[in-house]
Amino acid sequence: RGTTPLFPNLNGQKPEYLMVQLKAFRDGKRTDPTMAPMAIALSEQDIADQATFYGVLKYKDPSTGGSVSRSRLS
């Protein structure tokens, strides 16, 4: 997740923001060829769960990667 330059880093993002954006993707108010198919079938609970999940994950600096393999080295 968040591994390509065009995908935003979501770890540590605000849950309320993530919920609004996920609902916007699901409901067609925000369009994106990657996100729309993933969001279309989400329930309210799914969205709340996802938003909470990313919100509690620790931010990783995209410029330094923060990938699993890199983390394991430190």
- In the complex, the residues that contact a second copy under the rule CB under 8 A are 2, 5-9, 12-17, 20, 29-31, 55, 59, 61-63
The CA distance from 39 to 55, in Å, is 17
CB of 9 to a second copy, least distance (A): 6
How many of the other CB atoms lie within 10 Å of CB of 22?
21
Count of alpha carbons within 13 angstroms of residue 64, beta-carbon side: 8
Q: How far is the CB of 7 from a second copy (least distance, A)?
A: 7
Q: Which is nearer to a second copy, 8 or 37 (CB)?
A: 8
